Amino acid sequence: MDSLTFDRLRRLHTHFGPRVFGKVAQKLLALAFAECGFCHVVEREVQGVDIDIAGLDEQTFALEVKTTTNDSIFLSQENIQALEDRAKDGYVPLVAALRIRPLEEWVLAAIPLTRLQPGSIPLTRLRAYRLKELEQRVNAEFQAMIGEYYHGLLDEGEAYLNEVMQRKRSIGPQAATVDLD
């Protein structure tokens, strides 16, 4: 990511704190997937995987989303179970991780479920399972989402993104479906 995007992410992280920032980043990531052309994007704040995406080149993914300032992320047994449940429905399970540091971007890793264990997972371990082409597309759109929604987030908070997602959902069948559960 460029330096302006990093600075904005750092400011949002400080403004909201780690927990709310994670939710904000998750919503921005969902919007980025919709901008990439996925026609079905479901973002959840409650139990289950964080984001389902489908409809681009017949690809379907279920994402567990994590943000960190450290060198690792934490996956709970519940996170892994949610990915396993979606895999039974035909979704490819992905771990999406964003470290808030200069020159870092989202890592989208299709780690085989048999290799996932609850606990701390070093980000370097995710890199072996990256979907680089998808990462490039999503990271470019994510950067655009930061630019587009940054000031609204600072002024109005997380509710602002909820409203954005509601508007996108109601645009019609030509637009991506962006649902909040």
Per-residue pLDDT of 89-106, as tens digits, reads 999 999 999 999 999 999
Q: Higher-confidence residue: 179 or 112?
A: 112
**Rounded distance, CA 69 to CA 57, Å?**
33
| pLDDT band with cut points at 50, 70 and 90 for residue 66 | very high
Average pLDDT over residues 37-42: 90
CATH says 3-106+131-168 is which class?
A: alpha beta
> What's the pTM?
0.91
Residues 6+ apart with CB under 8 A from 46: 181
For residue 173, pLDDT over 50 is answered with no
- Residue 89 DSSP label: T
pLDDT of residue 12: 97
**Rounded distance, CA 181 to CA 137, Å?**
25
Could you tell me the residue ranges of all domains in the chain? 3-106+131-168
3-state secondary structure (DSSP) of residue 63: strand
Average pLDDT over residues 41-52: 88
> Which range, of 19-28, 50-59, 123-132, 171-180, averages the lowest pLDDT?
171-180
CB 69 within 8 A of CB 13: yes
pLDDT of residue 166: 86
Helices 132-156 and 3-35: angle between axes, nearest 10 degrees: 110
- Of 56, 113, 65, residue with least CA distance to 85: 113
| pLDDT band with cut points at 50, 70 and 90 for residue 178 | low
- Residue 170 DSSP label: T
3-state secondary structure (DSSP) of residue 106: coil
For residue 140, pLDDT over 60 is answered with yes
Which ranges of 36-76 would DSSP assign to H, the alpha helix?
A: none
